[in-house]
Each structure stands twice: as structure tokens, then as C-alpha cells.
Amino acid sequence: MGTDANAAGTAPIDLTKKGHACVRLEKDGRTLVIDPGGFSEQEAALGADALLVTHEHPDHFDELRLRAAMEANPEAQIWTLRSVAEKISGAFPGRVHTVGNGDTFEAAGFRVEVHGELHAVIHPDIPRITNIGFVVDGLVFHPGDALTVPERPVHTLLLPVHAPWNKFSEVLDYVRAVDPEQVWDVHDGLLNDNGLGLFGRMLGEGGPGTGGAEHGHLKPGERVRLAR
């Protein structure tokens, strides 16, 4: 999966699944980490040249993990929305950048686009917070805690497969709305093996399927190469 030639000329990206919603992307000797939160490994952010955080919930944003990565690499930088930047920017002047929907930037050699503005509704009694998603190198999209459909083609979707704010029919309809070529599960830290198996069947040949996208699941620490 994901080993065909890259028609756009972008170098392939090696994606390593970390705990829950965190992924590590590596290209040309540089590393970008998205959402190293409290359900991820303690070392999930270490070694990063760039860090992206989609929103402030602790399963996506863990200040201690970010601080460890920033202190280990004095050149590392963070790109995130205002609510997170306000919590950590004082400790790392000039190294924490606030971004929002529609912004584009380069982070450690990766081209990044920002899509989305709000977290999905958990319950009407719970105020909505801000949330942004990131398209990296025009190749892979991490939506954070939202079902954002970017106004651009998505090759590889990192799918938030299980959360208090979604149900399976919404997950499936979201994949079909984005219409990616391939899907890898994220946001699965609350699922046991039974739950992972069920979602795998429902998104695969044993269920309604994804509408044509190739679906896969990675265990923490497993790696796959992404290329067009």
C-alpha cells in the first residue's frame, strides 16, 4: 500500500504510528510529529524537528512531551492554534508559531496546509473548542478531532476511528466524503482488540466498506511508506 511513484515529485514519507492520535512522519532525514498527547508513548515527540498540535485536549497535547522534545533539540519548532500556543510559547520564545485555517507553511522541510476551525460536537452541554487539521506535503491529512473535509484532494487520510464525539456511520460517511486513496486508523487508544477487529471488519470487506479507499490499521511502532 502506498508504494507507487509520486507523480507530484514529493519525496515519499515514512509514517510511524504512535499511541492513539500521534504519528511520526520522516523524510530526507527530518522528522515531523503530530499530536503527541497523554495517550501516546512518553518518548513519542523526542527526536522531532517539527511538531504540530491540532488542539488542546490532553490526548493530543501534552506539555511535558512537547517540552522534552523542544529541550532535546534546540532547533525544533511547534506549529499549532492559539489555545495551545498560549500555554507553551512563553517557554520557547520564537519557536512556537500560531496558525489557523487557510495558512500554509514549511516545517522541517515538510509543506503543511491548515484546514478546519472547530472541534467536533461532543455534546450540546460541552462548549466547542477550536481544532485544526494538517495536510502534509499534499499527501497525508490528519484532521485532529473533527470530520473536516479539505477543499483539496486527499491521498492518505488519518482517520479518527473512535471517540466520544463520533459514531461508526459518521466515520464511514466521512471517509466517503473525503474520498482518499487510502486510510490509516488513528484515535484508537480507547479500543481493545475486540473493538479494533470490529472497526476493521466494518471498514473492510466484511462491512459497508469505505467507498473504494484502501483501509489499514497500524499498531504503535509499525511503519508504512506513503507515496503517490
Residue 20 Rama label (left phi>0; alpha psi -120 to 50; beta): left
Structural domains of the chain, count: 1
Q: Is the pLDDT of residue 4 over 80?
A: no
76 inside domain: yes
Using 50, 70 and 90 to split pLDDT, how confident is the model at 149?
very high
Q: Is the pLDDT of residue 34 over 90?
A: yes
Stated pTM of the model: 0.94
Helices 193-203/168-178 angle, 10° precision:
50
118 inside domain: yes
137: Cα within 13 Å, side-chain hemisphere: 24
Q: What integer pLDDT is reported at residue 206 of this predicted model?
A: 77
Nearest to 45 by CA among 29, 78, 13, 68: 68
202 inside domain: yes
Look up the domain containing 190 and give its range. Answer: 13-226
Which cell numbers hold the place of 57?
Answer: 485536549
Q: What integer pLDDT is reported at residue 209 of this predicted model?
A: 82
Residue with the larger pLDDT of the pair 5 and 131 = 131
Percentage of the residues of the chain whose pLDDT score is greater than 70 = 96
CATH of the domain at 51: 3.60.15.10
1 inside domain: no
138 inside domain: yes
3 inside domain: no
Q: What integer pLDDT is reported at residue 227 of this predicted model?
A: 87
Q: Is the pLDDT of residue 2 over 70?
A: no
Nearest to 218 by CA among 226, 210, 228: 226
Count CB neighbours of 168 within 10 A. Answer: 15
56 inside domain: yes
182 inside domain: yes
